[in-house]
Structure 1
Amino acid sequence: MMPNQRAKPTLRRRQLGRMLERCREDAGLTQQAAAASMNWPHHKLSKIENARAHIPAKDVEPYLRKCGVTDEAFILALANLAKNAAKKGWWAGFGDAILTTYMDHISVETEATRIRYYAPNLIPGLLQPRNYAREIIRATGTLVPELVEARVDVRTARQAVLTKAERPLDFWTVINESVLHHEFRENPEAMYEQLERLLELSQRPTITIQVMPIRAASHPGLLGLFSLLDFEKPYPSIVQVEDIRGSSFIEEDSDVQAFENAWERIIAAALPEDRSRELIKKVMEERRS
């Protein structure tokens, strides 16, 4: 980040600001009135709601009481969110190997209870074995070998959310059939290993893999990759979209609902789980013949 560039608010801080704003509005309070009730200047609350300033965890409960909130579990959840808004995770130890936008990606992935991921052009990172991950990282960047390996390490570490002993991530993905036919000429085994991994993971009760057939009917996924992330209550669901520059998030409720509707149409157009497994097996057999 350049010396005079303002740091981007973390997703945790943006979530907290939105939820505090919603509580204030539900109470019928203006920013001026709510700020005055806490003896704050108006601009302080404005910055908190816009994720440009941090609210200390100790101030969350009295502020929510001023807004008429009585749900103890909700108050505790927001106080914990304020406490952890700037907390660093395991990924901080990888330093320059992780871009700032990727840190947000890993953070929400770690905290999510369910992810629904439409993958039109590649296998989702959480399902990639090291060999496949290495080929994808090489192909999508101009990195020195050491940095490639560091990012492969990060991608592998992320996958722990699928197998953790307590409440593993519920992961549901739709993968385009064409992705199953990718070729890595210098490493032909990488794709076969990936197909094996898909079959293995599809047996887990918390992982659902569907394949979108090449001849599928038109569906909203034709517009590109996205994922829906759900969290424990009271935190709202969000959408993540990715491109060559990294990730960005969609957080407005009405926008998230549009992606929820699109997801339902996508899974309806895709093959069911059993037929998806059969197709993956068929592609594997063709590669070995």
Structure 2
Amino acid sequence: MQHGPAVRRRKLGAELRALRTLAGLTSGQAASRVGWHQSKVSRIETGRSGVKAADVHLLLDAYEVKDAQLRQLLVALAGADDRGGRHHWWHAYRGLLPPAYRDFISLESQACRVRTLETNVVPGLLQTPDYARVVTRAALDGLPDEQVDALVEVRLARQDVLRARRPLRLSVILDESVLHRQIGGAQVLAGQLKRLQEAAQLPHVRLQVLPFAAGEHKGLLGSFVIFSFPNIADLDVVVLDHLTSSLYLERKEDLQAYTDAFNSLLGQALSPEESTDHIAGIGDGA
């Protein structure tokens, strides 16, 4: 169980080590190619130290890695791409966003697939502006209006991953209680339910409702998110949110347990078509 930066360092180091081996280089030879001491390469590969995006570029060049998507993912794991002063969009909010949230957004922006169980609120990628504002204000009571507005902007900007040329594949299981919770009042909830119906029509979004009738289920202990990434099969990570931090689970047994739980919940949930109809019915009765 680790925090996001530690997970990213370990995953990035393991992948760089695999690429070095594939290139037929020892750690000493790799260090010589980029003008470093061998110990720096070792520290990076074991995840004991962080690595700048520019240094990842140097190593990937030394290993003659041409795959643009793989390069982009590995650079993202290191953090912002600082070559030429380019940064990811969320760095404009660096002073406002806690590190754990920035790390979550970074992983989300590079994921190819997200599976999530939500038991309390609509996931951020599907929230309306009004719903997002109420949730943000409730979670961060006392925050000035301008900071709340900025955080809502961040939440809405995150949703661009669903509109990208290669959109994120999103699979959501919503506990039925989320659909009835009067967040923001009847009007805000009605708008949010309509948004869910619209999102469910997207080919890369799968939305299923876990009905009250399902009774006891594996999701009773709380929400979770499973990130999956292109090109690197063992990069998957589970994220558990807490009030002041997030925990990242990346051991194979943890990943398997949460994957099995998610698949089990899929079997208890309504089908996507039934879920859309169910949401529409709740909206009509609101």
> By the TM > 0.5 criterion, same fold?
yes
Distance 2:30 2:178 in 1: 55
SS at match of 1:248: strand
- CA shift in 2, pair 1:36/1:101, >3 Å: same
More off after superposition, 245-254 vs 175-184: 245-254
Q: Paired residue for 1:49?
A: 46
Tell me: CA distance 1:89–1:212, structure 2 relative to 1, closer, same or farther (3 Å).
same
Whether contact under 8 Å (2:115, 2:172) holds in the other structure is: yes
Please tell me whether the aligned partners of residues 119 and 178 of structure 2 are also in contact (alpha carbons under 8 angstroms).
yes
1:183 Cα deviation from its structure 2 partner: 1.3
What are the residue-to-residue correspondences of 1:137-216 with 2, within 5 Å?
A: 137-142=136-141, 143-164=143-164, 166-184=165-183, 187-216=185-214
Contact 1:77/1:234 (CA < 8 Å) preserved in 2? no
Structure 2 gaps of 5+ residues are 32-36, 81-86
Give 1:86's aligned amino acid.
Answer: G
Q: How many residues align?
A: 266
1:19 to 15, 28, 37: 15
Which residue matches 2:228? Answer: 230
User: What secondary structure does 1:174 align onto?
Assistant: strand
Separation (CA, whole Å) in 1 of partners of 2:215 and 2:125: 27
1:195–1:284 contact (8 Å) kept in structure 2: yes
Aligned to 2:227, the other structure's residue is in SS state strand
CA 1:21–1:60 in 2, change beyond 3 Å: closer, same or farther? same
1:83 & 1:282 partners in 2: Cα distance? 45
Q: Which amino acid aligns with 2:281?
A: K
1:39-64 CA deviation, whole Å, 9 max, x = no partner? 644475135421514254333465x6
> Are residues 268 and 182 of structure 1, via their aligned partners in 2, closer, same or farther at CA, if it must alter by over 3 Å?
same
Question: Superposition RMSD on alpha carbons, in Å?
Answer: 2.9
Once the two structures are superposed, residues 12-58 of structure 1 have per-residue CA deviations (whole angstroms, 9 ceiling, x without a partner) of: 5442113245678x99xxxxx95445564447513542151425433
Deviates more, 1:51-60 or 1:232-241: 51-60
2:154 is matched by which residue type in structure 1?
Answer: V
* Rounded Cα–Cα distance in structure 2 between residues aligned with 1:220 and 1:149: 35
The match for 1:86 among 73, 79, 84 is 79
Q: Note the alpha carbon deviations across 1:186-224, whole angstroms, 9 max, x for none.
A: 643111100010111111111111011112143321221
Partner of 1:255: 254
Q: Is the 8 A contact 2:5 2:103 kept in 1?
A: no
- The residue identity in structure 1 corresponding to 2:12 is L
List per-residue Cα deviations over 1:105-124 (Å, max 9, x = no partner): 11111111111110011100
Shift of 1:264: 0.7
Q: Which amino acid aligns with 2:179?
A: L
Q: Relative contact order (C-alpha < 8 Å, sep 6+): which is higher? A: 2
Q: Secondary structure at the match of 1:97?
A: coil
Judged with a 3 Å threshold, the aligned counterparts in structure 2 of structure 1 residues 57 and 14 are, in CA distance, closer, same or farther, namely same
**Residues 169, 79 of structure 1: alpha-carbon distance in 2 compared, 3 angstrom cutoff:** closer
Deviations 1:156-177 (Å, cap 9, x if unpaired)?
111111122x111111100010
Other structure's SS at 2:216 match: coil
In the superposition, relative to structure 1, how do residues 78 and 157 fare at CA in structure 2: closer, same or farther (>3 Å)? closer
Structure 1 residues 237, 199: closer, same or farther in 2, change over 3 A? same
What does residue 30 of structure 1 align with?
none
